[in-house]
Amino acid sequence: MSTLLVVDASVATAWITREDISPEARLLLTAGVELIAPDLIVAEVGNALWKAGRRGQVSNRQVLGAARMLAGGLAVLHPTLDLLLAASELARELAHPIYDCFYLALALREDAQVVTADGRMAALCGIRGIAVRLITPPQPSSSA
């Protein structure tokens, strides 16, 4: 049985834009783990790519390829409607926007670990006792 991981939009966006993230983030796509997310990830990644496109950081081709990457990289997209009540309760409890709470609600429901490149999301996971893997940019090597 493979490990079940909830991937958030910060990691999925970095896969597409090729931002400087750790090799660990890229390995998730081929590591034999089951990657899931709330279907909200499509809108969040799409919006991030739209912004990056306006800044000239990604091409139209990359934006169009994002749908294929999400479809191929994520095993299951869970409907946000099914997570709405739990996410709303978490948002109220944590005094945090509901967008992130959909990922937390999914992780709690599926007993899964959250993978994020967002320190605030990692902190929210810690508050609720959700296992989290914080992916950080690789550190530049220092030469003596």
pLDDT at 1: 42
pTM for the complete prediction? 0.85
Q: What is the pLDDT of residues 26-71, one digit of tens each?
A: 667 666 788 899 999 989 988 888 888 888 887 878 777 776 777 7
- Domains of the chain, CATH where assigned: 4-134 (3.40.50.1010)
Give buried/exposed letters for 118-140 (b at 16+ CB in 10 A, else e). Answer: beebbebbeebebebbbbeeeee
Mean pLDDT score, 72-96? 93
- Comparison of pLDDT for 139 and 66, the residue scoring more: 66
Mean pLDDT score, 94-112? 96
